[in-house]
Structure 1
Amino acid sequence: MKTYGMKRMLTVGLAASVLCMGSVHAAENPQQIPSPLVTYTSVRDAWAVVGLPVYTPTLLPVGYAQKDIIVIDKSIAEIFYRNDAGKEILFRMAKGDADISGDSTVYEVNQVVQIGRQYIRVKGTEKLVSLALWSRGGYTFSLSFEEPIPVEAVQAIVSTLPWS
């Protein structure tokens, strides 16, 4: 199983365990623990919950479309983009400068590249990027690619984010 699929399973598993724990104790305690994952239909609504400006990529590899918009624990906003083959790209944003990717994989390549004045940490292989991380203006971002892409494509995606 790929690491990216494992992250998705861990996120779903966390939500399921929280829901199960809440239902087991519901008879003893009428207050249930709310799920830390909340799904939204609008990026604007999700980002407002976290208190973020709406910065999302406007360019993605051909065939990817927005699928799921989720807020984790009212602190991390994420969008899943999926293609017809079921491959996913995960975009995350939060306040601060911490690594919010949830990816602890040790990659062959871990380097910093520059796009204009922006520095981005890219991780993957010699030719392809699986994870991109950066911070700007008090916000932190990550892009995870289930199907790795060239660094030039990552640079093009990141350059489409509107910076105010």
Structure 2
Amino acid sequence: MKKKLVVCILCGMMAMSALTCGIGSAFAAESPETPVISAQEGEQIPNPWKEYTSVKDAENAVGFSVKLPKKISGYTKDMIQAVDGLVLQVFYKSGDKEILIRKALVSQGKDISGDYNVYDVTKKVLAGAAACCGR
């Protein structure tokens, strides 16, 4: 009796596993107004980031301005990107080193760092022109 029960449970688990593999992945909506985006195997979701040739054009796309250093010693501005109405980012490069400055509206309350690791120790610091530019 126990063997039959175990076999039935294992068969059920295998069937559920096979069914869920064919469903594809779905990405949950951020809010009720945001549509759910899903991707089936082999499909790709369009890249939401748009490249801009100037910071001003990117600011117009997101609807807010960003304060950037006039110059970062040894680095050149490499790429300007934005997700319309949400976030703006500017990449600076120096050889294989990279600095990324990213800004979004505070009211969104989301972590926009791209670093989702959990650290044992975290510390908040005040950042300003003097902190980022060595003034």
Could you tell me how far 1:35 is from its partner in structure 2? 3.4
Contact 1:68 1:81 in 2 (8 A): yes
Work out which structure has the larger RCO, using CA pairs closer than 8 Å and 6 or more positions apart in sequence.
Answer: 1
Corresponding letter in the other structure for 2:49: L
RMSD over aligned CA atoms reads: 3.1
The structure with more radius of gyration:
2
Q: What fraction of aligned residue pairs are identical, expressed as a percent? A: 38
Task: State TM-score, norm by structure 2.
Answer: 0.55
For the pair 1:83 / 2:58, whether they are aligned, the reply is no
Could you tell me how far 1:111 is from its partner in structure 2? 0.5
User: Using a 3 Å threshold, how does the CA distance of structure 1 residues 34 and 48 change in structure 2: closer, same or farther?
Assistant: same
Structure 2 portions without partners, runs of 5+ = 1-38
2:102 alignment partner, one of 92, 97, 100: 92
More strand per residue: 1
2:60 maps to 48
Query: Matched residues in 2 for 1:55 and 1:110: separation?
Result: 25
Query: Matched residues in 2 for 1:102 and 1:54: separation?
Result: 18
2:132 maps to 157
Could you tell me how far 1:92 is from its partner in structure 2? 0.4
Paired residue secondary structure (1:44): helix
Contact 1:80 1:89 in 2 (8 A): yes
1:66 alignment partner, one of 72, 77, 81: 77
Corresponding letter in the other structure for 1:157: C
Query: How many residues are matched?
Result: 93
1:21 alignment partner, one of 38, 43, 54: 43
